Amino acid sequence: MDLSDIQGNILRGYRSFPDACFLFFRVDRSGAGREFLKRLLEKDSITPGQWREKPEVATNIAFTFEGLRALGVPVASLASFPPEFQEGMKSRAALLGDTGECAPNQWDEPWQGSTVHILVTCYARVRETLIGHCSELRRLAPEGVHELVPHQEAGLLFVDGKRTRKEHFGFDDGLSNPDVEGVPDDGGLGDTGNPDEQGNLRKIPVGEFILGYPSEGQELSAMPVPHMFTRNGAYLVVRKLEQHVLRFRDFLRTQTAALRSFPGVKLSGGPRAAEDFLAAKMFGRWPDGSSLDLYPTAGAGDKSNNFNYANDLEGARCPLGAHVRRANPRASLGFGGNIVRRRRLIRRGIAYGDYLPQDVTEANGGGRRGIMFLAFNGSISQQFEFVQQQWMNSGDDFRQGDDADPIAGNRIGDGKMVEPSQPFRRDQNCAGRMVIPGDQRTAREPFLCSGIPRFVTTKGGDYFFAPSLTGIRLMAAGKVYIL
């Protein structure tokens, strides 16, 4: 595997690049678009997976289907890209659960009004260098390539004055990414592989994420043609996800009274013990990153990944429908992990907006915040869309019926068991429900959350292709040929 040909943001976590800016461009003339790429390459702007010296700002690039078309990629090549990539994420909104509040007609700009052609992501080691770097990039864009505004700033959150890796609901994020074969350890926190027959975690073939290599199915994932163009590339799913922190905190508060007097619930100390308990049950980890599987009663500052749910198949410790358990079920679906191994995602998301301190109430809770969700995979339909449809927006695989993920799932009902005489309507703002399983050992009864509002709303995004450096050079030179 040639890490110098694969773009850096795919297999590297960029952990030491805490501030980011996303620039969006539209190509009006294909010649101008190619000129832009040429200039970027001449200046060595695009950061590969293996660098000679660490850049100040790691810069990477990706293209939507419309972007590839605008850059003059031949029709025969375009036609070989998978249908979901050709359609783009906006067209697949209903499938993804982006309805009601999350529908594309509610998205932010530039996502709502345009189709982004080129995404340039800049991750800086030091924030001050970011502004200058982005200006330089903008200057490189010739006449015939224009920027779609506004750009998107993002960065690791400051909580109580300190830089953290928390997301806006207060949870440590990015604790578990796929442990990929052939990738040198990036100093990550113990990335997780896929479970084997014994439930132990083993490395994941790189072909699950990068085109041109064997995947979990022991074959090459489908690669658009020509192969020289697409090899070493990956599909990138970008979703701007707004987080409604006050809604989240308010919901937790409404459940507090019920929880404090609930049979068998033992709350560890602290004034917000009930809220923390419920939040942890919904997430599957404590805010400090400790997994519920290992630490069922309180966080212990242990963010490790030495757990696989194999001894918690009823969900007494970590609910079967909890967020992280849905996103990566590990050994909980049986069959030696065979059912889950094709569904991993490399997540490179980063928060945007300022962290909302705990004492902020409705009146002065201005500003918007969320996460720029970025996920790399070898097949959008088999990986991202599968997880979104089957594990986030449905609970059947987890014995939770139609109950969607409490944090990120869609809402199509009224949060209660729906009688057939009340047909669903996609355009309504609806509520969700979640069952928090009980625990036989402590005699804790199951707790039913209902009327869960939508805490996370989609505000933009699209499906991108992140080519290799070779692929970008071919496009820049106008030399993507099909015989």
Partner 1 sequence: MGNINGKKFGFTALFPIRSKESAVALRPYLRSMDGHPYGSPLSSVDIIHMARFMIIDNLAYQGVPAKRDELKSHYLLFLCDFDGGSLDVLVRKLVSKMGETVDDIWQHCVGYPGRTYRDRLTAYFEDCQLATTFFLADRPNDEVAAILRALMYKRRFTGFVESCQRSRPPDLRAAFLQLWRSLETEPTPPAGSL
Partner 2 sequence: MADRARNQYGLGKSVTFNVITPMTRVGTCVVRLLLSIFGRFPSTQETAKGLSFLSFVHWVVVQRNAFPRLAADQPKEQLNYDYLFFLSTFNGPWSPYIDAFADVLFKALDAVWFWSIGYPFARPVSALKAYIIRNQVESDHAYCAYPGASVRDVRSALELYGELVRFERETRGLTAAQFEAEFGRLLIRIHNHLGSFGTLPD
> Which residues contact partner 1 (rule: CB under 8 A)?
258, 416-417, 419-420, 446-448, 450
Out of 136, 401, 429, 479, which residue is the one contacting partner 2 (CB under 8 A)?
Answer: 401
Cβ atoms of residues 402 and 319 within 8 Å: no
* Phi/psi of residue 15, nearest 5 degrees: -65, -25
Report the alpha-carbon distance of residue 133 to residue 236 in Å, rounded: 23
Segment 189 to 228, residues that bind partner 2, using CB under 8 A? 217-219, 222
Q: Is the dihedral of CA 304, 310, 311, 315 positive or negative?
A: positive
- Nearer to partner 1 (CB atom), residue 265 or residue 324: 265
Cβ atoms of residues 348 and 372 within 8 Å: no
382 binds partner 2 (CB under 8 A): yes
Cβ atoms of residues 112 and 104 within 8 Å: yes
- Nearer to partner 1 (CB atom), residue 33 or residue 406: 406
Retrieve residue 461's tokens: 């995004």
478 binds partner 2 (CB under 8 A): no
Segment 47 to 66, residues that bind partner 2, using CB under 8 A? none
- Nearer to partner 2 (CB atom), residue 284 or residue 460: 284
Report the alpha-carbon distance of residue 468 to residue 2 in Å, rounded: 10
Out of 390, 453, 470, 482, which residue is the one contacting partner 2 (CB under 8 A)?
Answer: 390
- Nearer to partner 2 (CB atom), residue 301 or residue 336: 336
CA distances from 316 to 185, 278, 445 (A): 34, 13, 10
Report the alpha-carbon distance of residue 470 to residue 36 in Å, rounded: 16
- Among 233, 230, 212, 232, smallest CA distance to 482 is for 230
Report the alpha-carbon distance of residue 467 to residue 470 in Å, rounded: 8
**Angle in degrees, CA 250, 254, 255, rounded to 5:** 120
Retrieve residue 460's tokens: 């933009």
Q: Which does 258 bind (CB under 5 to 8 A by kind): partner 2, partner 1, none?
A: partner 1
- Nearer to partner 1 (CB atom), residue 198 or residue 442: 442
User: At its nearest, how many Å lie between partner 1 and the CB of residue 402?
Assistant: 12
The site string for partner 2 over 410-449 (x = CB under 8 A, - otherwise) reads --xx--xxx-xx-xxxx------x-x-xxxx--xxxx-x-
Retrieve residue 228's tokens: 């020289």
The site string for partner 2 over 169-188 (x = CB under 8 A, - otherwise) reads --------------------
Q: Which does 443 bind (CB under 5 to 8 A by kind): partner 2, partner 1, none?
A: partner 2
- Site residues for partner 2 per CB under 8 A: 217-219, 222, 263-264, 314-315, 320, 334-335, 338-339, 341-342, 381-382, 386, 389-390, 395-396, 399-403, 412-413, 416-418, 420-421, 423-426, 433, 435, 437-440, 443-446, 448
